[in-house]
């Protein structure tokens, strides 16, 4: 696949690779109990966040199943790291990928996740040429489900390992139709 054209600039945000200097911001995000409530990773302590930052800074290709990238979301006006978005290739042959997203509480409900995820979907479909993007949310995670609906993703019931998850997906055709 083509190299990722990073950073990505949106109206208010820059979406870029992580740097060493992001440790404090990433720690704020990963140590927040509310943010972690519906994430499989749980709350992280500083040492775990340092390891997570190292993983995020490693060179990333999106070629094979399981490859992916986690990108920092930064507000241009303040320079503050407010969250992260991720894209994981699940099936290279069919062109299917999974997305993830998390923002610090202070930055939530201001349209930032929608702005960042719109840019990530554009990257997935328009640059990488993927065919389908999906995401999952705990059925109690209203914010996540609302965000995916607003992105034009369609809802499918799913029960994965007994966890009450709702899956959402959008195809390349639907993305192009709504863009």
Give residues in contact with ligand COA (CB under 6 A).
35, 38-39, 101-103, 108-114, 137, 141-144, 146-147, 150
Tokens of 48: 């775990």
Q: What is the DSSP letter of 59?
A: -
Select 96 or 144, whichever has its Cβ closest to ligand COA.
144
Select 57 or 143, whichever has its Cβ closest to ligand COA.
143
Instruction: Give the other-Cβ count within 10 Å of 93's Cβ.
Output: 7
Q: How far is the CB of 126 from ligand COA (least distance, A)?
A: 20
Select 49 or 147, whichever has its Cβ closest to ligand COA.
147
Select 11 or 93, whichever has its Cβ closest to ligand COA.
11
Max distance between CA atoms of the chain, in angstroms, equals 45
User: Residues 6 or more apart from 94 whose CB is under 8 A from it?
Assistant: 131, 132
8 A C-beta contact, residue 114 and residue 150: yes
- Cα separation, 166 vs 179, whole angstroms: 24
Q: How far is the CB of 58 from ligand COA (least distance, A)?
A: 23
Q: How far is the CB of 146 from ligand COA (least distance, A)?
A: 4
Q: How far is the CB of 61 from ligand COA (least distance, A)?
A: 24
């Amino acid at each position: 696949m083509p190299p990722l054209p990073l950073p990505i600039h949106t109206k208010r945000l820059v979406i870029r690779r992580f740097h060493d200097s992001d440790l404090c911001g990433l720690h704020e995000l990963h140590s927040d109990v509310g943010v972690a409530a519906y994430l499989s990773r749980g709350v992280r302590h500083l040492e775990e966040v340092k390891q997570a930052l190292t993983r995020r800074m490693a060179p990333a290709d999106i070629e094979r199943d399981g490859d992916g990238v986690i990108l920092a979301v930064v507000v241009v006006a303040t320079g503050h790291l407010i969250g992260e978005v991720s894209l994981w290739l699940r099936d290279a042959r069919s062109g299917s990928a999974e997305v993830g997203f998390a923002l610090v509480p202070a930055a939530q409900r201001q349209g930032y996740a929608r702005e960042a995820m719109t840019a990530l979907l554009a990257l997935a479909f328009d640059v990488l040429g993927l065919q389908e993007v999906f995401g999952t949310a705990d059925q109690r995670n209203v914010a996540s489900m609302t965000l995916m609906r607003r992105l034009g993703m369609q809802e499918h019931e799913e029960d994965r390992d007994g966890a009450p998850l709702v899956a959402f997906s959008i195809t390349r055709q639907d993305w192009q139709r709504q863009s």
